[in-house]
Amino acid sequence: MRIYPNREEAGQSLGQALRKYADQPDVLVLALPRGGVPVARIVAESLHAPLDVVLVRKLGVPWDPELAFGAIAEGDARVVDEYAVRALGIRPEQIERVVSAEQVELARRASAFRGDRPPADVKNRTILVVDDGLATGSTMLAAVRALRQRGAGKIVVAVPVGPPYTCAMLAREADEVLCLDQPEPFEAVGAWYADFRQVTDDEVRALLPPK
């Protein structure tokens, strides 16, 4: 399996693999911030397609926030891993507190990344949803469900790397899943990049269309 030098190089590979969507007026590229934006920017440029973000947030276990038990997306889409909730003993009121906190962060990011500009219109369009990789897939799944609620015509999940089981899970919900590399064992997305530095809000704003 290849190691991508950085997110931009991954975007070039992904753009080449998505060439059948080039120069189609109904195609829209949506990135999952923050790490998906540098990848999606290259994809959008190579396909001559517009670029925007679809905002999602991981739901972290209250006493271990890095451990996800689900995700939310703008548009009130919610994904909860009921097995994890039961196994960890997370109470309903704890779930709602985490959801409320992440909804505040969704609103902050919407303002930071779009300003007063509304979300892109996805109704009846072909949407390429791009991230820098998949792990559990909970945030991508929330994004797919949110886009369904907003009336997207065709949803294509496009990522450079992800584990086979996550790609298979998303294939049951998206119309198409393009995952260039599916290593096993997987470990983590960052293991497949030489440069996996955190992307800042300022970098995201610089890559997106003006507010």
Distance CA 180, CA 169 (A): 16
Residues in the chain, pLDDT under 70 = none
Which secondary structure element, helix H or strand E, spans residue 127, and what is its range? strand 126-130
pLDDT digits (tens, 9 = 90+) for 1-51: 799 999 999 999 999 999 999 999 999 999 999 999 999 999 999 999 999
- Please name each of the domains of the chain with its CATH number: 7-55+115-207 (3.40.50.2020), 57-113 (3.30.1310.20)
The confidence score (pLDDT) of residue 38 equals 98
3-state secondary structure 77-123: EEEECHHHHHHHCCCHHHHHHHHHHHHHHHHHHHHHHHCCCCCCCCE
Distance CA 78, CA 73 (A): 7
pLDDT digits (tens, 9 = 90+) for 134-143: 999 999 999 9
**% of the chain beyond a pLDDT of 70:** 100
State pTM to two decimals: 0.94
Q: Could you tell me the two tokens for 149?
A: 């609620």
